[in-house]
A = this chain, B = another copy of it.
Amino acid sequence: MLSERRLEVLRAIVQDYVGTEEPVGSKALTERHRLGVSPATVRNDMAVLEEEGYIAQPHTSAGRIPTDKGYRLFVDRLAGVKPLSTPERRAIQNFLDGAVDLDDVVGRTVRLLAQLTRQVAIVQYPSLTRSTVRHVELLSLAPARLMLVLITDTGRVEQRLVDCPAPFGEAALADLRARLNSRVVGRRFTDVPTLVQDLPESFEPDDRGTVSTVLSTLLETLAEEAEERLMIAGTANLTRSGHDFPLTIRPVLEALEEQVVLLKLLGEANESGMAVRIGHENAYEGLNSTSVVSVGYGSGGETVAKLGVVGPTRMDYPGTMGAVRAVARYVGQILAES
């Protein structure tokens, strides 16, 4: 077990390194922080911290930098979440309040988050699986061709073309539309499959094929939407990284283009709280020298999607976590209002 002072030394190292981006030595530490002990003592502590794997030296005769394990300890036990200042909160609220539709909300959120944290921000569109159906519309485009439009309570609209196995009359169409809506409007997406299961049976034999096709398209749409959309902003912030440039930035840009990777990344966020993945804790190896801070957001206590930022492991964790949490709360509020 590490003594209180050693933890204090680790905290000081992390803070200084995050600020200066340079390895920090024992002397500099005692000067910048009121540790109440001499450099020599700090050196001893550092030796212990290094032995335990919390810090490392890039080269002999250089200062120390925190390891992933060091950051982990820092985040878990040494640092709180730094709340935003009141003006900052005000600015968030004002900025998000101007949004006109869902795309705009997500767009503003992601830009805001990128600007606040000066890192790459990722916002997932509100998930359909947690949402409810507001309306299902069926349009006849041609005798054997329908369009299915799904409207969700989060304001999202999805449409699909349906090719019918047989022509489908207007009367049957109206019938199907009415029955479908009476069953699924207001219901959870996850509940829909069982709710419509027996629907084909109540139609004329000739029409059952079409009804089944429509239903399976509907279910497909819901399922497919597990493949969620994302919005990204602030990639230019990657260039802040400093000197170790090209090697770091490349794989990150590549990862950012892989929706699947990003969804997994956000997916690791703990349902309830904030998730911080540091360096090698990230499954995707291109992100081994970055950290991801993510959290779920939603209206009314329910998580409908996630958002987060990607930045260098050497990041201001308390500040970043504060910004991420605050933005998640406000966007949740906005969604609840609309």
Interface residues, chain A, with chain B CB atoms under 8 Å away: 134-135, 137, 139, 141, 147, 149, 151, 157, 159, 233-236, 238-239, 245-246, 249-250, 253-254, 256-257
Contacts and interface: CB of A to CB of B under 8 A. Distances in A.
6 contacts: A134-B141, A147-B151, A235-B257, A239-B249, A239-B253, A249-B249
Contacts of A238: 253
Contacts of A254: 236
B246 A250 contact: no
This chain: how many copies in the complex? 2
Given A137-B139, A149-B157, A256 B235 contact: yes
B235 A235 contact: yes
Contacts of A147: 135, 151
A257 B233 contact: yes
A149 B254 CA distance: 36
A327 to B, nearest CB: 18
A188 B220 CA distance: 33
Given A238-B253, A239-B250, A245-B245, 15 more contacts: A135-B139, A135-B141, A137-B137, A137-B139, A147-B151, A149-B149, A157-B157, A233-B257, A235-B235, A235-B253, A236-B253, A239-B246, A239-B249, A239-B253, A245-B246
A139 B147 CA distance: 14
Nearest to A241: B246
Contacts of A233: 257
Nearest to A134: B141
A251 B238 CA distance: 12
Nearest to A236: B253
A256 B256 CA distance: 14
A159 B234 CA distance: 28
Contacts of A256: 235
A173 to B, nearest CB: 13
Contact of A157 (B159, B239, B253): B159
A172 to B, nearest CB: 18
